[in-house]
């Protein structure tokens, strides 16, 4: 069945460091891929998404590229800030399907 695997956390970085959070998926066909972010005490919110192979989603300095050949959708940011401290979830959905599959989440802490 469809599934998403995220790198285990927690991840602790210093401010202005480079961030990569790995996400790989198992799915048939061409699912849509998402990154959601959950800030402390809040619900999840969409960070970025990509709907087809080689698409790059970007938002707030974060980027992720849909790589069909490696079944990956890694999240990157060139220079993290303290305000980026949150839990990041990778997710996928098949076209026309009725379930959004989430990864287990990766907690990021950015220290000044």
Partner 1 sequence: NAGVTQTPKFRVLKTGQSMTLLCAQDMNHEYMYWYRQDPGMGLRLIHYSVGEGTTAKGEVPDGYNVSRLKKQNFLLGLESAAPSQTSVYFCASSWNGMADTQYFGPGTRLTVL
Binding site for partner 1 (CB under 8 A): 4, 32, 36, 41-46, 49, 51, 89, 91, 93, 95, 97-105
Provide the minimum distance between the beta carbon of 43 and partner 1 in the complex, in angstroms, as a whole number. Answer: 3
Sheet holding 75-77, edge to edge: 19-21, 75-77, 62-65, 56-59
Decide whether 38 or 85 has the Cβ nearer to partner 1. 38
**Residues 88 and 59 sit within 8 Å (Cβ to Cβ):** no
For residues 64, 67, 70 and 74, what is the CA-based torsion angle, rounded to 10 degrees?
Answer: 0
Provide the minimum distance between the beta carbon of 112 and partner 1 in the complex, in angstroms, as a whole number. Answer: 27
Provide the minimum distance between the beta carbon of 48 and partner 1 in the complex, in angstroms, as a whole number. Answer: 11
């Amino acid at each position: 069945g469809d599934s998403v695997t995220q790198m285990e956390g927690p991840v602790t970085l210093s401010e202005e460091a480079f961030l990569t959070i790995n996400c790989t998926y198992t799915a048939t066909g061409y699912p849509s891929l998402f990154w959601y972010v959950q800030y402390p005490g809040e619900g999840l919110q969409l960070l970025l998404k990509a709907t087809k192979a080689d698409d790059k989603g970007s938002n707030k300095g974060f980027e992720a590229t849909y790589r069909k050949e490696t079944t990956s959708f890694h999240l990157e940011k060139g220079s993290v800030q303290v305000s980026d401290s949150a839990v990041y979830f990778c997710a996928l959905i098949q076209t026309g399907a009725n379930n959004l599959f989430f990864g287990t989440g990766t907690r990021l802490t950015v220290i000044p």
